[in-house]
Structure 1
Amino acid sequence: MKQNWLKAILPHLAAIGIFLFLAFAYCSPVLEGKVVNQGDMKNVQGMAKEAKDFYEATGERPLWTNSMFSGMPSYVIYTGPGANKIAYVNNHVVSLYTPAPVNMLFLAMLCMYILLCVLDFKYWIRIMGAIAFAFCSYNVIIIDVGHITKMYDIALMPAVMAGIILTYRGRLLTGATLTALATAMLVYNNHLQIIYYTLIMVLCLAVGAFVHALKDKQIPQFFKASALLVVAGILAILPSMDSLLILREYTDYTMRGSQSELTLDKDDINQKKSTGLDIDYAYDWSYGKAESGTFLIPGYVGNSSGQRLSSKSNFGQQMVSLGVPEAQVEQFLGQQKLPLYYGAQSKGTSGPVYVGAIICFLFVLSMLLVRSWLKWWLVAISAIGFILAWGKNLAFINDFLFYHLPLYNKFRAPAQALVIPSFAFVVLACYALQEVVNGQYSKEQLLAALKKSLYITAGTIVGFIVIANMIGFTSASDSTMLQYFAQMMGGEENGKLLIRALEKDRSSLLLKDSFRSAIFILIAAAAIWAFIQGKLKWQPAILIITAAVAIDLIAVDKNYLNDESFVDDMTYMQELQPTEADQQIKQDPDPYYRVFNVTTSPFDDASPSYWHKNIGGYSPAKLWIYQDLITHQIAKNNMKVLNMLNTKYFIVPGAKGQPMAQRNPDAYGNAWFVKDIVWAPDANSEMKTLDYLNTRDSAVIDKRFQAQVGNFKPGADSSASIKLTKYGLNKLEYASHNSQDGLAVFSEIYYPAGWEATVDGKPADIIRTDYALRAIKVPAGDHKIEMKFEPKTYFKGLKIAGISSITLIILVLAMIAYEIFRFIKTQKN
C-alpha cells in the first residue's frame, strides 16, 4: 500500500515543487529580502497609518479614521485583526507561507491545477494550464501596481469552479466543502468586482449543468447538488460577515451605492441616474473591441501608456536626425517613458491583457475538437467577459446592463471583465490538448483540425494587422505629447516629426509581436503534428508546448514585473519619508487639525495621509456628501468651507518647487458655537448657501432636519467656547462653556450610521449641518460632550464571523480526514 500511496501523491508534490520553483524564479529578488515597489500599496500605507497606529497604541479596533477626506469609516482601509479565521488559511496556509508576490503566483497555479485535476486532464496538461493561467500578463501587471486583493481573488476563481464541478459530478460532500472553502477565501479577500464576475461564471455553469442534467435525465441529482452548493455558499459568506454587513451599510452612503442629493449641474435633472456610480466615471478603462487582439498579440495596441525606447528606435533616430547628440538621446530615452499605447482606453493602461499566442491557437483547436458540455459554458462566459469589458465601446448593450443588471453599477473599469475569458481560454486550451492525446479522433481528423486552426489563427493575426493599419497608429495622448515635443525641440514641425516617428515605432511593435506570436504558434503546432504523426510521444509533445507557453508569457510579463520592480525596504519607504513641510507641521502640539496638500493631486493621493489628518486622500468609496463638498466648494477654494473643516495648514509648492507649509490662522478649530441658523429648502439650496455663508457665525441646515432642531434659537456670548479634551478615532470628548443655549458645530463629517452623542451623559441628536458637518444643541452652562462611534452592525458581524469561520474550518478538516481515510481504504482494496 505504501508504494501505491507514494505513486498517487508524488506527482502532486512534484507539481507543487514546479509551481514554487517558477514563482520564486520569477520573483527571485524576494530571496534578497526585496519587495515590489507598488504605487497603489503606498496609497494603502498612507490611508491606513493612523488606524494602525491607533490599534497598536490602544488595542482598540479603529472603526473611523481622520486621515482621509476629513474623516470616514475605516471599514475599507483597516480595522485591526478580524474575527474571520479563514484569514489565516488564505494568507498563509494555502500559499505555504511564501512571501509576496510569490504567494499570489503560486496560489493561481495551484488553484488552476486543482480545477484541471477535477476535469481529469493528463498530468502535463494540468501543469501547462496552471502556468498559463498564473502568468497571464494582466495578473503580473496588477501585482506590479499593487492590486493585491484583486490578484488573490483571480487566483481563487478556478478553485471555486473546481468545487462546483466536483459537486455536480456526484462528489457531493467533497465538492461542496471545496466550494465553501474556496468561496470563503474569495469573499474574505473582498474584491467585489472579481467576486461579481465569479458569480456570473457560477450562474452560467449552473445553467449549463441544468441543461446537461436535463438531457441525461439527472434532474433530481442536479437539484440535490445545487441545494448543497447553496448551503456551501452560505457557509462561505458567513465568516466574512464582520466586513460584509458593515460594508453593506456603509455603501448606502458612498459613491458606489447611492446618488448625490444635488442636481446643481445643468444636465443632472435630465440625465438618467443609477443608484451607483456615474456611468461616465464607471466606464473609464473600457477595452476597445479591436483592442481585444492583445489576447493574441501582446503589442497589438502599443503595450503600455509609458515605456522606454532605445536610441535605435524610430523615435531615437528622429531625434538624432534633428541634431540631438546620440549620447543625449540615450540619456533622454533612459529617463523618459513614451506612450506607445494607441488603444481605446482614454485613461491609458499599464499593459495589455495577453493570454498567450499558443493558448489562443489551442482555443481555436478546442472549438473544432471538444465535445464536453463544459465547452459551451466556457464559450458563453468568454463572450460575456468581452462584452462587459468593452463598456462604453458597446454602449447599446452595456448601458442597458449598467442601469438594469443588479449591482453592476457599483463597479468601474470594465476592462477587468477580461479575467473571465482569460480563465476560459486557458481551460479550453487544455481541453484541446486532452482531445488530441486521448485517442478519440483519427489521425486524419486531428490533422484536418490542426490545419484549420492554423489557418484561422494565422488569418486572425493578418486581420488584426490590417485593422490596425486601417485605424492608424495615432493616440489620444499625441496632442499633449506634440506640445511637449514642440517645446523640447524648438518648434511644432519638429514635434510633428517626433510624433510620426512614434507612430512608426507603434507599427513596428505590432509587426514584431505578430511575427513573434506566429513563431510560438508554429512551435505548438509542430509539436502536435509530431505527436499525430507518431514522431513524438504525447508527454514530450506536451512538455514542448508547456515550455513554449512559459517562455512566451514570462518574456512578456518581464516588461512589467521584473527585477527593477523590486526594491529594499528602505527604498520602498523612501517616498513616504516626511518632507521639511511635514516635519514642520508635526511640531504642532495640537492633537487634531487638518492639512491640505496641494503639491500632489489631493483627491487621488493618500500619501499625505501617512503623516497628517488629511483634507484629501484616495478611496474608491468616498462618502457622497464629501464628494459633493469637494466638487462644489473645496475645488473652488472656498476658504470658509476649508476653515470649517479645521484646515490649519496648507502644503504648497515653495520657491524651489519643494513643499512648503503655510499656517492658516483662520481655521475654526475642532468645534464652535454659531449665532444663527439659515434654513435651506433642499440640498441644492444648502450647498449654494455655502458659497457665501459666514460659516463661523452661521450654520445652514436642510429643512428636513428641522424636527431635530425645533424652534430652537442658538446663542453665544463673547466668552462662549467649546474645546476638544480627548481625541480618539472612535471617541471624541469636548468641554463647552456658554451662558446661552447654543448650537455647537463640529468640524466632523456627518455619518449617521454609528455616531452617537451625549451631553453630560444624556443622548443628544446629531444634526447634519453645513451639508457635511455635525451639530449638537447644547444647553446653557458648562458641559461635557462625547461623540462615540459604535456601529452595532459591525459588532454583530464580528460574532457571526468568529463562530462561522471556526465551524467551516472544522468541516474542512473533517472532510480532509474523510478523504484520507477513503484513499487508504481504496489502496487496501
Structure 2
Amino acid sequence: MKQNWLKAVLPHLAAIGIFLLLAMAYCAPALEGKVVNQADMKNVEGMAKEAKDYYEATGDRPLWTNSMFSGMPSYVIYTGPGTNKMGYMNWIITLKTPFPINMLFLAMLSMYLLLCVLDLKYWIRVMGAIAFAFCSYNVIIIDVGHITKMFDIALMPAVLAGIILTYRGRLLTGAALTALATGMLIYNNHLQIIYYTLIMVACLAVGAFVHAFKTQQLPQFFKASGLLAIAGALAILTSMDSLMILREYTDYTMRGSKSELTLDKDDAAQKKSTGLDIDYAYDWSYGKAETGTFLIPGYVGNSSAQKLSPSSHFGEQMVSLGVPAAQVDQFLSQQKLPMYYGAQSKGTSGPVYVGAIICFLFVLSLLLVDSWHKWWLIAVTAIGFILAWGKNLAFINDFLFYHLPLYNKFRAPAQALVLPSLTFVVLGCWGLQEVAAGKYTKTVLLQKLKQALLITGGFLLGFVLITNFFTGFSSASDASMLQYFAQMMGGEENGKLLIRALEKDRSSLLLQDTLRSAIFILIAAAAIWAYLKDKMTWKVSAIVITAAVTIDLLQVDKNYLNSDSFVDDLSFMQALQPSPADQQIKQDPDPYYRVFNVTTAPFDDASPSYFHKNIGGYSPAKLWLYQDLITHQIAKNNMHVMNMLNTKYFIVPDQKTGQPIAQRNPDAYGNAWFVKDIIWAPDANTEMKTLDYLNTRDSAVIDKRFQAQVGNFKPGADSSAAIKLTKYGPNQLEYTSHNSQEGFGVFSEIYYPAGWEASIDGKPVDIIRTNYALRGFKIPAGDHKIEMKFAPKTFFTGLKIAGTTSTLLLLLVVLIFGWEFYQQMKRETVPAPEKKK
C-alpha cells in the first residue's frame, strides 16, 4: 500500500514552521521570558488585583470588586477560571507559545486556512497569512495591550473559512470549523470585533444567497445555512458564562446608556440613543483622506508621539536657534514629538498600514477577479471604511449609530478598519492567483498589470498632492506645542520656527514613505512582469513577492513593536510599586476604606486600584450612576459625597517636591451609618441636585419611586446608634447594628440591583437606592445582624450552560474532524499494483 497523505500534509507543516519561526524571530525577547511593556495591561493588573487575591486566598469566585469606582461587578475583569472549555483551544492551536508570539502565529494560521479553503496557490497563501498578521494595526494593538481584540482579529479569517467551506458543500466539516472558530472568537470576547465579524458574515451570506439563486442551488444554500445556524448557536452557548451576565450588566453601564439624568442634555437627544453618547462614541474617527495610510504608512505623520533624529529639520532648527548640539541630541532622545496631523482628535499610536504591495494587488484583483466572492468582499471593504470614518461621514454614520442594532454600544470607529485590512489581503491574494491560474492570456495580464500600476501610482501621487496643496501639514496639537516651544526657546517667534520645522519633517516623512511604497510596488510588479515574460518561474516570482511583502511590513512594524517594547517581569511591575504614600496608607489596620489618588488621571488610571479600594479607576464600562456621580459631584469636589463614599485618604502631590503624599480625611463616614431624615425626590435630576448641598451624614435623599418599599416613617437614631462592619469580602459583607429606635441605615456601597441581596437577622429586606448611588434600607430598633451577599443567578446559570455545551461542541468537532481525516486517508491511500505471477 502506498500512502500519499503525508506528501499532502508536508507543505502545510512547512507553512506552519515558517509562521512559527517568523513570529518567534519578530518577538525574540518573549522567548527569553520578557513581556511587552503595555500600558493597558498595567491597568488590567490594577483592576484585577483584589479579585485575584480573593480567589487565591479563598478559592471562591470574586463577582464584585471594590478596587475600582467604589465598587462594581468584576465580570469584565476577573472571576476566576471559567467553565468554557474553549479556553483550552487558545493554547492548543497556538502550541502554547508565549505572548505575543501566539497571537501573530494564530493570525497567520487563520488566514492561511482561509486561503487554503479558497484554493489559492501555496506561496500566495503564505504571503497572505504574513500580510494579514503583520498589518501595522495588529502590532500596534499588541504593543498597547489590547489582547482580546488581537485574538479575535486573528480568528476572523477562520470563521470565514468555515462558512465558505459549508456553502461549498462540505457541510459537516465546514459547520464544525465554523462552530470551533466562532466559539473561540466569542470566548476571547472582544464584542466590537465580534460585531464586525457578524457584519462580514452577513455580507458573505447575502453573496452566497445571490450566487445560489443565480445557479439554481437554493436548496443547498438553505441546507448549509441551517447547519451554520446550528453551529453559530452552539458557539454562542459555549460562552453563556460571559454573555448572559454581560447582557445583564450592560443595562446598568455607560454602554447601555441608562442614566436617568437630563441635567446637561437635551431630553430628546437623551431618549434618541440607548447606547453611548454619540460624541464619546465617535472618538478616534478615521479621516477620509487618512485612509491613505493603507498605502503610505507615514501619510498623516505616523504617531502622535514620535522620536526625531538630530538631523531632522526640527533638530537642525534647534541648533540654528543656538541650542548646543549635545543638548539637542539629549532632548530628542528623551522627548517624543507629535508627527501625526490626521483627523483623529484624540491622536493615535500609529497608522493602519496593510502594505503597498497588498494595495497594488488589491487594485489588480478588481481588474481580474470575477468570482462571486469578489462582490461581498468589496461590500465589506466599503462598510469598513464608512464605519471607520465615524463623525467624518456623519450623514451616514449618525443614522447607523441610532438605527443599526447594538451599534451604539461601541466606540472608536477606526477599529472598523479591521474589515478592509482583511479583505484587502484576501482580494490581493486572489488577484495574484488570477495571474498564475492561466485563465487569462499573458497579453491580457500584462495589460491589466500596467493598468493596476498606473492606478496605484495615481493614488500615490494624489495623496501627496492633496496634502501639499489642500490639507497641509499642520496638526491640532500644534497650538499647545507652540506654547511649549515658545516657553522652552524664549519667545513665540522661535516657537513658530520650531513648528514650521516640525511641519517640514512631516512633509519629508510623506515624501520618503511615498517613495518607499512606490519601490515595493515596482518590485512586485517587476516580479509579475518577469513571470509573464517567462524570465522567472512562478515559484520564484511568488517567493520574491512574499519576501517583499514581509520586509515591507516588518520594517514599518518595528517602529511600534520592537525589542525596546519588551521588558523583564520586574521592570514591568516597577510601575506598580507602592509609593511612600501608598505604603503609609497600607499601615491602616481598617480592612475597608477608600482612597482617592489625584496625582494621576483618577478616572483613566487603574494603577491605584492595585493598592487600594479606589474612588477612581479605569473601565470603558462604568456603571452609569457612578459616572453621573463623578460628573456632577466628585469632579466638583463635593466633600459630603466624598465622605459618604468613605474616602478616608487622599493622595495628593506635595507642594514642594511634587511627590505623592497621603492626607487622611477625618470626616469620612465609615462603612455605614444611621440618618435622621429622608428627603423624597420626585425624580433623578432632583435627587442629584439635592446632593449639591445635602449633609449626607444626617440626611439621605431617595427617589420617591422607592417610597412604598420604605413606608412613611421618621427615621430615628439615638446618641449611641451605630452600624459596624464585622466581616468584609467582595461578595459578602456582614454588619451589626445598634439603635434604640427604628432607623434608616445608609451603606457606603454602590447600588446595583442585579444580584445584591440583603437580610436582617436572616430575613430578606429590600435594598433602596440612596443618595443616587448608594444602598440603604430600614432597620428595626434593637441589635441586629445584617448581611449583604452578591450571588447573581444569571452568572451561575451561564456557567452551567457554558460548561456543558463547550464540552459537547469540542467532542463533536473532534469526531467530525477525525472522520474527515479518516476519509481523506482512504482517498489518499491507493493499492500498489499486483506483481505478475
Equivalent position SS for 2:341: coil
Amino acid at match of 1:26: Y
Amino acid at match of 2:415: Q
Determine the structure 1 residue equivalent to 2:751: 750
1:280 aligns with 2:279: yes
Deviations 1:516-549 (A, max 9, x none): 0000000000000000001111110000000000
Q: 1:330 to 1:268 in 2, by over 3 A?
A: farther
Contact 1:113-1:127 at 8 Å conserved across structures: yes
Determine the structure 2 residue equivalent to 1:513: 513
Kindly report which structure 2 residues correspond to 1:34-433, keeping only aligned pairs within 5 A, or say none: 34-90=34-90, 92-265=91-264, 267-268=266-267, 273-433=272-432
Contact 1:263-1:269 at 8 Å conserved across structures: no
Determine the structure 1 residue equivalent to 2:698: 697
* Distance in 1, Cα, partners of 2:800 & 2:463: 55
* Distance in 2, Cα, partners of 1:827 & 1:631: 68
Equivalent position SS for 1:783: strand
CA displacement at 1:60 relative to structure 2: 0.3
* Distance in 1, Cα, partners of 2:690 & 2:118: 65
Determine the structure 1 residue equivalent to 2:779: 778
CA displacement at 1:657 relative to structure 2: 1.1
Deviations 1:360-411 (A, max 9, x none): 0000000000011101111110000000000000000000000000000000
* Distance in 2, Cα, partners of 1:277 & 1:18: 43
* Distance in 2, Cα, partners of 1:228 & 1:676: 62
* Distance in 2, Cα, partners of 1:815 & 1:350: 43
Determine the structure 2 residue equivalent to 1:804: 805
Moved more, 815-824 or 522-531: 815-824
Determine the structure 2 residue equivalent to 1:582: 582
Determine the structure 1 residue equivalent to 2:502: 502
Determine the structure 2 residue equivalent to 1:634: 634
CA displacement at 1:267 relative to structure 2: 3.9
Equivalent position SS for 1:571: helix
CA displacement at 1:266 relative to structure 2: 5.5
CA displacement at 1:3 relative to structure 2: 4.8
Determine the structure 2 residue equivalent to 1:555: 555
CA displacement at 1:97 relative to structure 2: 0.4
Deviations 1:41-77 (A, max 9, x none): 0000000000000000000000000000000000000
Equivalent position SS for 1:300: coil
Determine the structure 2 residue equivalent to 1:717: 718
Aligned residues: 828
Deviations 1:734-769 (A, max 9, x none): 000000001000000000000000000000110000
CA displacement at 1:253 relative to structure 2: 0.3
Determine the structure 1 residue equivalent to 2:599: 599
Equivalent position SS for 1:142: helix
Kindly report which structure 2 residues correspond to 1:750-769, keeping only aligned pairs within 5 A, or say none: 750-769=751-770
Equivalent position SS for 1:284: coil
Equivalent position SS for 1:260: coil
CA displacement at 1:269 relative to structure 2: 5.2
CA displacement at 1:658 relative to structure 2: 0.9
Deviations 1:136-164 (A, max 9, x none): 00000000000000000000000000000
Determine the structure 2 residue equivalent to 1:11: 11
CA displacement at 1:271 relative to structure 2: 6.1
Equivalent position SS for 1:67: coil
CA displacement at 1:828 relative to structure 2: 2.3
Determine the structure 2 residue equivalent to 1:473: 473
Deviations 1:591-619 (A, max 9, x none): 00000000000000000000000000000
Equivalent position SS for 1:299: coil
Determine the structure 1 residue equivalent to 2:835: none
Determine the structure 2 residue equivalent to 1:730: 731
Moved more, 267-276 or 6-15: 267-276
Amino acid at match of 1:759: I
Deviations 1:693-715 (A, max 9, x none): 00000000011111111112210
Contact 1:645-1:747 at 8 Å conserved across structures: yes
Q: 1:270 to 1:120 in 2, by over 3 A?
A: closer
Moved more, 702-711 or 340-349: 702-711
Deviations 1:166-213 (A, max 9, x none): 000000000000000000000001100000000000000000000000
Contact 2:483-2:492 at 8 Å conserved across structures: yes
Equivalent position SS for 2:595: strand
Equivalent position SS for 1:60: coil
Contact 2:4-2:829 at 8 Å conserved across structures: no
1:666 aligns with 2:679: no
CA displacement at 1:272 relative to structure 2: 6.2
Q: Identity over the aligned pairs, expressed in percent?
A: 80
Determine the structure 1 residue equivalent to 2:679: 678
* Distance in 1, Cα, partners of 2:303 & 2:599: 26
Contact 1:690-1:770 at 8 Å conserved across structures: yes
Contact 1:136-1:422 at 8 Å conserved across structures: yes
* Distance in 2, Cα, partners of 1:664 & 1:590: 14
Deviations 1:389-440 (A, max 9, x none): 0000000000000000000000000000000000000000110111000101
CA displacement at 1:798 relative to structure 2: 0.5
Contact 1:342-1:476 at 8 Å conserved across structures: yes
Contact 1:595-1:614 at 8 Å conserved across structures: yes
Amino acid at match of 2:595: V
Contact 1:259-1:274 at 8 Å conserved across structures: no
Contact 1:109-1:134 at 8 Å conserved across structures: yes
Determine the structure 2 residue equivalent to 1:824: 825
Equivalent position SS for 1:788: strand
* Distance in 2, Cα, partners of 1:788 & 1:813: 41
Amino acid at match of 2:629: L
* Distance in 2, Cα, partners of 1:379 & 1:817: 36
CA displacement at 1:5 relative to structure 2: 2.1
* Distance in 1, Cα, partners of 2:47 & 2:791: 21
Equivalent position SS for 1:351: coil
CA displacement at 1:33 relative to structure 2: 1.1
Contact 1:68-1:617 at 8 Å conserved across structures: yes
Amino acid at match of 2:561: L
Contact 2:255-2:275 at 8 Å conserved across structures: yes
CA displacement at 1:477 relative to structure 2: 0.2
Equivalent position SS for 2:371: coil
* Distance in 2, Cα, partners of 1:31 & 1:623: 40
Contact 1:35-1:567 at 8 Å conserved across structures: yes
Contact 1:63-1:729 at 8 Å conserved across structures: yes
* Distance in 1, Cα, partners of 2:542 & 2:333: 40
* Distance in 2, Cα, partners of 1:363 & 1:31: 35
Contact 2:2-2:829 at 8 Å conserved across structures: no
CA displacement at 1:2 relative to structure 2: 5.6
Amino acid at match of 1:18: I
Equivalent position SS for 1:197: helix
Stretches of structure 2 that go unaligned for 5 or more consecutive residues are 831-837
Equivalent position SS for 2:423: helix
Amino acid at match of 2:272: K
Moved more, 564-573 or 816-825: 816-825
Q: 1:518 to 1:272 in 2, by over 3 A?
A: farther
Equivalent position SS for 2:723: strand
Amino acid at match of 1:554: L
* Distance in 1, Cα, partners of 2:208 & 2:479: 52
Equivalent position SS for 2:332: helix
Moved more, 812-821 or 687-696: 812-821
CA displacement at 1:240 relative to structure 2: 0.5
